[in-house]
Amino acid sequence: MIRAAGLEKRYGFKRVLSGLDFELPRGGFLVVTGPNGSGKTTLLRLCAGLAIPSAGTLEVEPDRSRIGYLGHEPLVYRELTALENLDLYGRLYRVPERRERIGMLLERFGLWEARRERASALSRGQLQRLALCRALLHRPELLILDEPFSGLDADGAELLDRELAGMRERRTLLVSTHDPERIAPLQTGALALA
């Protein structure tokens, strides 16, 4: 659950978000849209706990151990293999039955064959799939996805469509996108930033 009231974020003198009010109930799917520079990424970073509001209130449940975050960067170490990256995050999040969970996600996202490749050797689309595996690894209750379709090819995008549809029932989702039509059937609410 996320509840924001009068949310404001400034970087120096630049006001990125101003007077934002919204609520995302548990199990909801909120799509955030807006042009470049409208503050979509800032909003998602605030909700993930990666930034602190300048004014207003922001309540986020659950705590960060149950949040999955996909940002613009894949947040994986380039010199580690796909398997090593997921193992590192699995240990950090104390994922039960870690190896089985990692194997299942790599299979599901079509990365099993590339599991021993260093992340630096993966294509942009494979990196995005690996980043999705990382975000989903600890079975988060709240999933925050910033432009999740970015870098994915047609197959990858269809796979993500299916994943999002599957998650829709079990998780709370906050997703920013430039292509709201794609996930319109899943959404329970929309937030357009100017």
* Binding-site ranges for another protein (CB under 8 A): 48-52, 63-65, 67, 69, 71-80, 84, 88-89, 91-94, 118, 134
Which of 84/117 has CB closer to another protein? Answer: 84
Q: Which residues contact 193 (CB under 8 A, 6 or more apart)?
A: 17, 20, 32, 33, 34, 38, 39, 40, 43
Which of 94/181 has CB closer to another protein? Answer: 94
Q: How far is the CB of 142 from another protein (least distance, A)?
A: 12
Q: How far is the CB of 140 from another protein (least distance, A)?
A: 10
Q: How far is the CB of 99 from another protein (least distance, A)?
A: 15
Which of 127/183 has CB closer to another protein? Answer: 127
Which of 84/163 has CB closer to another protein? Answer: 84
Tell me the β-bridge partners of 95.
none
8 Å CB contact between 89 and 137: yes
Which of 120/184 has CB closer to another protein? Answer: 120
Q: How far is the CB of 39 from another protein (least distance, A)?
A: 16
Please give the Cα distance from 56 to 18 (Å, whole number).
Answer: 9
Q: How far is the CB of 86 from another protein (least distance, A)?
A: 12
